[in-house]
């Protein structure tokens, strides 16, 4: 019995001591989660790579090469791409790509597909092109980008960025798109803007590409946003260097949906400049 009384007394003393210590001790502030800073990106103000087309003749061989041939290019296109200055010529401060109705390489149309030489600096940055588009049913001009190396496999697994596409049967509706393993062909991620003077005036077509997003701007207006899902290359193969392509296709699975009006030829796409600004480090 004495042991029980002693233990009970000790317990009471401990309880009182603990209660007092809780009351008199410093109180902890409520838990506050640490906010991660939002990543922001900027672009250098000086161009890293550009062509202002301030010369005369064929596109600068130090900056451009060509895709050639009349294979249909996976889209049942009708043109033969050449290296002729009849189809790609720099004059009066602009590159002019011309599609013609003529026999060429076993095809009934000729055109050009001008490609920037592989430049491994073109990974993330601002890509800006000032251009005037061709009109007429059957035309399919494009200003776009493909990977230098198909690290994630053949198209569309390694990605494609279409800064500007237009089909002549749907005049003045201009499209910005991306293609990858998850989104391609009929379900590509696409936005459309109507530009009433796309054929008569120059407009600036732009892509801002960072590790987080691909954003499209037409005349500085945001028209498209695609966000990195952080789940791998299937949805984001856009972590490798890409290069420019400038071309006019004729007909094809999209451009030729309503046939080709032969009365429109020759047709031209004029490019005032092409500029690339690096992402700021």
Catalytic residues: 160, 165
What is the token pair recorded at 102? 């003529």
- Pairing mode of beta strands 139-147, 125-132: unpaired
Instruction: Give the residue among 159, 187, 175 at the shortest CA–CA distance from 223.
Output: 175
CA angle 220, 214, 182 (to 5 degrees): 140
> Considering Cα of 244, then 186, then 132, then 109, what sign does the dihedral take?
positive
- The helix/strand/coil state of 203 is strand
Residue 66, H or E segment? strand 64-67
Task: Give the residues across from 165 on adjacent strands.
Answer: 142, 175
Q: Using CA atoms, how far apart are residues 169 and 270, in angstroms rounded to an integer?
A: 19
Distances (CA, A) of 166 to 46, 78, 243, 255: 30, 16, 20, 8
Residue 214 contacts residue 222 (beta carbons within 8 Å): no
């Amino acid at each position: 019995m004495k042991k029980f009384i002693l233990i009970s007394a000790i317990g009471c003393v401990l309880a009182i001591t603990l209660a007092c210590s809780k009351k008199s001790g410093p109180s902890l502030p409520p838990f506050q989660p640490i906010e991660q800073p939002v990543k922001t990106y900027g672009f250098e103000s000086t161009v890293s790579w550009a062509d202002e087309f301030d010369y005369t003749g064929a596109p600068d061989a130090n900056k451009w090469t060509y895709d050639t041939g009349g294979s249909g290019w996976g889209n049942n296109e009708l043109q033969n791409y050449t290296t002729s200055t009849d189809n790609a010529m720099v004059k009066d401060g602009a590159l002019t790509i011309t599609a013609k109705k003529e026999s060429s390489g076993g095809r009934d149309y000729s055109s050009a597909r001008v490609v920037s030489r592989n430049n491994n600096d073109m990974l993330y940055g601002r890509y800006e092109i000032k251009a005037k588009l061709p009109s007429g049913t059957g035309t399919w001009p494009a200003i776009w980008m493909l990977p230098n190396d198909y690290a994630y496999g053949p198209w569309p697994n390694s990605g494609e960025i279409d800064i500007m596409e237009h089909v002549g049967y749907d005049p003045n509706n201009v499209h910005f798109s991306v293609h990858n393993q998850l989104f391609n062909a009929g379900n590509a991620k696409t936005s459309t803007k109507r530009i009433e003077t796309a054929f008569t005036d120059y407009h600036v077509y732009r892509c801002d590409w960072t590790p987080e997003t691909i954003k499209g701007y037409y005349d500085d207006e945001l028209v498209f946003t695609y966000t990195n899902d952080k789940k791998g290359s299937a949805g984001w193969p856009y972590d490798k260097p890409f290069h420019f392509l400038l071309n006019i296709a004729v007909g094809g699975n999209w451009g030729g949906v309503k046939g080709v009006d032969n009365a429109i030829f020759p047709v031209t796409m004029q490019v005032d400049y092409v500029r690339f600004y690096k992402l700021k480090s």
